[in-house]
Structure 1
Amino acid sequence: MLSHSLQYVVFVIAVFALYWAVHRHFWPRMLVLLVASVYFYAAFTPFPLLIFLVGVTVDHLLVKGMGRSQSQGVRKLLVTLSIVSNLGLLAGFKYLELLRKTALELVPASWGLHIREAPFDLILPVGLSFYVFQAISYTVDVYRGKASAGHSFIEHLLYMLFFPRVVSGPIIRASELMERFRDVPTLTPEDGGRAMFRIAVGLVKKLVIADVLGSGIVDPVFAAPEKYASAECVVAAIAYTFELYYDFSGYSDIALGVAALFGFKFPENFNRPYLAKNLGEFWNRWHMSLSTWLRDYLYRPLGGNRVSKPRVLFNLMTVMVLGGLWHGADWRFAVWGGVHGLALGLTRCWEWTVGKPEKPGVPRLAVGMLVTFTIVVLTRVVFRAKNMTDAGEFYVRMMEGVPGIANVSPLVWGMLAAAVFFHAVPLKLYTVTSELFVRMPVPVRAVALILLGLGIRHLSAVETRPYVYLQF
């Protein structure tokens, strides 16, 4: 049940009605959300729920232990066990097959080591990467004293399975969700209108812009780049860069909007990342819940900026390579992250050498944005290709200079123009439009949403496409 499907709309309406009918009573509203979340996840595949249930049970016992213990050594042991168990869960289901394949390729037969030749064929639970990072954030925050260990098992389980974000994030901290479970929720008509507007924006991003770019140019060109001209490959790489943004930010908009309908305010996950002037700023704007997680739970524990300059560069590279691998069990993701780590390191070296200009001029800002966007587009080829061989072939085709651009349809050009325009316009435009929507009479709002749905149906791909980040 994808969050841009009609089934999801009906599901949210039903849960919304039940939730607000009992919202003044803690346990009834918690059970409504928990049952809805379990049902929602089971609609994808029910078996991983058992895995998550075991994982939450282990973490909950460890958290309770940290809450009761006064010994720093014991608390450190318990949080370490939580981190190891969660990373072990991720490694076992997501990376074991990658390690098996890598060992088969790299370990010589003369060593006499027996390596399994048959695939493990393990089912990768949907949203496992998001689950593990969110689980670690809670136990570490309890250890650091930033989150309470006094929550019930039901609260802990709902925190991990809350249906608006369980599949593809955002990665939510305990202070942003679990710490608010006991507050009696409120929802004003204005807040409800803003939430509906946010959901509508997310649907347009996903079903109109992202899906049209994906089916219209990205999928066919990446499937067989040798059949397309060099310029068409360049357009496909740029289109994929925007498809990924509008697909994932559209999902985030829907998740934030649906959460708001139940009285929860989640932090923003994107902030117009392709307007960034350097890669450091790009990662502060792109998938911000992941970027801040990597900063708070990996980069800073490694020493962050408080260590020697060589160590800072090592920390940057480590974070980016591991962050790349988080996206998928394929070494090309490590390569993608490594290239970003190298570029971030070079950026940091440049700043150490010449310093940061206090107020860079317009030409320098424009050059910075162009260089940053170019790096992002070029590395997206590795991100999108099936393997490094296909990525290499795509790069070669881009640089061969084969003329022609006839396979880029007017609809694709129009969606690319729309993608650039809506990404570049000031955020105030969205705020003003949202407030105009809120001030409309309810019947007018209903008509506007119906017309929007009909327009989406007309413009979007006939086939419903899953979210890109479902694979992560």
Structure 2
Amino acid sequence: MYFHSLQFLFFLTATFALYWSVHRHKWARLGVLMGASVLFYSMWTPWPILLFAGATAINHLCIKGFRRFESQGARRALLTLSVVSTLGVLCAFKYADLFRESARVLLAPLGLEVRAEPFGLLLPVGLSFFTFQALSYVIDHYRGEIEKERTYFEHLLYLLFFPHLVAGPIVRASHLIERFDDVPSLTAEQGGQGLYRIAVGLAKKLVIADVLGSGLVDPVFATPDAYTSAECFVAAVAYSFELYFDFSAYSDIAIGTAALFGFKFEENFNRPYLATNLFEFWSRWHISLSTWLRDYLYRPMGGNRVSKPRALFNLMVVMGLGGLWHGADWRFAIWGLAHGAMECLIRVWWWVTGKPPKEGPVAMVRAGFGMLATFLVVVLTRVVFRSPTLEHAGEMYLRLMEGSMGLANVSTLVWVMLAVAAVSHVTPLRLFHQAGALFVRMPVPVRAVVLVAVGLGVRHLASVETRPYVYFQF
């Protein structure tokens, strides 16, 4: 059941009505959310719920152990058990075949045989998001950053809550489980803002992302030799916009949906293509993942508090693992390492010359060049991210370097969507918020008419096949 389906609309309406009918009673409202979350996930396949429940049980017992044992050795042993078991599930279901095939290729020259047949384990939807959120909760307890011990039911609901379950964002405890005791409230303004975010997400997904994907990105990346270099470059740019509008659309709908139940999720995107360097880009793109990698991997490794060579090593490790998190293919790790290598170059340059000033005419020109260069790096490295294989990515790069011109295969609709994507991305956020405030101030009947009109417009414009969210594969 996708967020952009009519089925989800009915599901959300029924869950909303039932939740607010019992919202004053903690266990009743949490029971509604748990039932809805299990039903929501079961629309794909129900068996991973048992896997998630088992992994949560182990972590929950480890958290109880943190509070029972004063010995630092015992606490570290429990933390190790939690981390190994949780990552073990991820590695088994997501990376087992990648490791098997890599071992087979590496050991074959030595005469050692490794199983040739794939394990064929089904990857549960949202497993990567579940894993990182589960680990953050256990680690926060270990660090003493969470004071109250919760029940297993609350712990499981925190991880399974349906708005963020299958494609994020990665929600910290302070924004969800620590709010379970509070009697929720929902003003007309908050409800209107939630609906506004959902409407914006639907438009991003169905009008912009899907049109760019099916209208240009998919055919060009499938057979780059059939298109000119210029068309391949436009397709690469279109893919970056498709990916942003697809994923940020899911985040918008998740944020808006959570708001309808009285929860406030943090923003997951902040106009990333306006970043003037890669460090800034990653502070604006998929913010919940970037901050997770910073707080639970980079800083524990020493971050910037170690020697300069070690800091660069830490950065490469984090970016490589962050890339591999996106998929069970070494090309994702290569993509991450490419970003890491360029971030290392930027950091070394800053060490030598100092960080550039942020004010003055020279700073403005430098920022403009930085923004253009950063966007170009993001677009070109995503060729590896989007291509099905490294060999296919190589074909795309060769086609780009040929320099052949011509844009006959870029339709008018695609050009329009690219223009809409670019303009909306650079539009000041205050205008976005003002539009939301205007929507909230409308009388309820007018808001209903606007939503219906938006829905009909989306249905009319999105004359392409409805596509799943890109990040569902992660």
**Superposition TM-score tier, normalisation by shorter sequence:** over 0.9
Question: What are the equivalent positions in structure 2 for 1:434-449 lying under 5 Å apart?
Answer: 434-449=436-451
In structure 1, the residue matched to 2:472 is 470
Report the Cα offset of residue 403 of structure 1.
2.0
Q: 1:431 aligns with which of 426, 429, 433?
A: 433
Displacement after TM superposition at 1:109 (Å):
4.9
1:148 and 1:138 mapped to 2: Cα distance? Answer: 12
- 1:23-422 equivalence runs, <5 A: 23-111=23-111, 113-148=112-147, 150-360=149-359, 361-422=363-424
Which amino acid is the alignment partner of residue 409 of structure 2? N
Q: Distance in 1 between matches of 2:148 and 2:138?
A: 9
> CA–CA distance in 2 between the matches of 1:387 and 1:41?
30
Contact 1:90–1:129 (Cα < 8 Å) also in 2: yes
Deviation at 1:108, TM superposition (A): 2.6
C-alpha spacing 1:358/1:403, structure 2 compared with 1 (3 Å) = closer
Cα distance between partner residues in 2 of 1:432 and 1:314: 44
Does the 8 Å contact 1:207/1:461 carry over to 2? no
- Measure the CA separation in 1 of the matches of 2:278 and 2:195: 33
Instruction: Measure, in 1, the Cα distance between the counterparts of 2:464 and 2:396.
Output: 28
CA distance in 2, matches of 1:229, 1:453: 36
The AA in structure 1 aligned to 2:292 is W
1:165 aligns to what SS in structure 2? helix
Contact persistence 2:211–2:464 (CA under 8 A):
no
Aligned residues of 2:107 and 2:113 also touching (Cα < 8 A) = no
Counterpart residue identity of residue 240, structure 2: T
The size of the alignment, in residue pairs, is: 471
Equivalent residues of 1:211, 1:461 under 8 A apart = no
Q: What displacement does 1:246 show?
A: 0.2
What amino acid is the match of 1:20? Answer: W
Range that drifts further, 429-438 or 397-406: 397-406
What per-residue deviation string (whole Å, max 9, x for no partner) do you get for residues 65-89 of structure 1?
A: 1122222221111111111111111
State the 1:359 CA deviation: 2.1
* SS of structure 2 residue aligned to 1:118: coil
TM-superposed deviation, 1:250: 0.3
Q: Report the alpha carbon displacement of residue 149 of structure 1 after superposing the two structures with TM.
A: 5.2
- Greater CA drift, 406-415 or 63-72: 63-72
Q: Which amino acid aligns with 1:271?
A: N
Q: Point out 4+ residue stretches in structure 1 off by more than 3 angstroms.
A: none
Query: If the length of structure 2 is used for normalisation, what is the TM-score?
Result: 0.98
Q: What percentage of residue pairs aligned between the two structures are identical? A: 63
Task: Please give the alpha-carbon distance, in whole angstroms, between the structure 1 residues aligned to 2:465 and 2:150.
Answer: 43
How far did 1:461 drift? 3.7
Q: Which amino acid aligns with 2:293?
A: L
Q: Deviations over 1:194-231 (max 9, x none)?
A: 01001100001101000000000000000000000110
Supply the distance in 1 between the matched residues of 2:120 and 2:463 (Cα, whole angstroms): 32
- Tell whether the 8 Å contact from 2:323 to 2:337 is kept in structure 1 after alignment: yes
> Which letter maps to 1:190?
E
CA deviation string 1:319-350 (max 9, x = no partner): 00000000000000010000000011001001
CA contact (8 A) 1:187 1:263 kept: yes
Consecutive unaligned residues of structure 2, counting only runs of 5 or more, are none
- In 1, the alpha carbon distance for the partners of 2:121 and 2:243 equals 27
Output the CA distance in 2 between the equivalents of 1:265 and 1:398: 43
Q: Which amino acid aligns with 1:250?
A: A
Alignment of 1:455-466 (within 5 A): 455-466=457-468
Distance 1:315 1:267 in 2: 27
Deviation of 1:172 (Å)? 0.7
Letter in structure 1 aligned against 2:27: W
| SS of residue paired to 2:279 | helix
Question: Does the 8 Å CA contact 1:64/1:149 hold for their aligned counterparts?
Answer: no
- Say which SS state the counterpart of residue 107 (structure 1) adopts: helix
Name the stretch that deviates more: 214-223 or 394-403. 394-403
1:264 alignment partner AA: F
Matches of 1:269 and 1:421, distance apart in 2: 20
Q: Is the 8 A contact 1:131 1:160 kept in 2?
A: yes
Structure 2 contact 104–113 (Cα < 8 Å) conserved: no
State the match for 1:19 in structure 2: 19
Q: Distance in 2 between matches of 1:148 and 1:84?
A: 24
Q: CA deviation at 1:148?
A: 3.4
Q: Structure 1 residue 174: deviation in Å?
A: 1.1
Return 5+ residue gaps in structure 1 as ranges.
Answer: none
Q: In the alignment, residue 272 of structure 1 is paired with which amino acid? A: R
More displaced stretch, 236-245 vs 398-407: 398-407
Taking the aligned partners of 2:391 and 2:463, their CA distance within structure 1 comes to: 29
Q: Distance in 2 between matches of 1:468 and 1:33?
A: 26
Deviations 1:143-165 (A, max 9, x none): 00112351011100100100000
CA contact (8 A) 2:210 2:464 kept: no
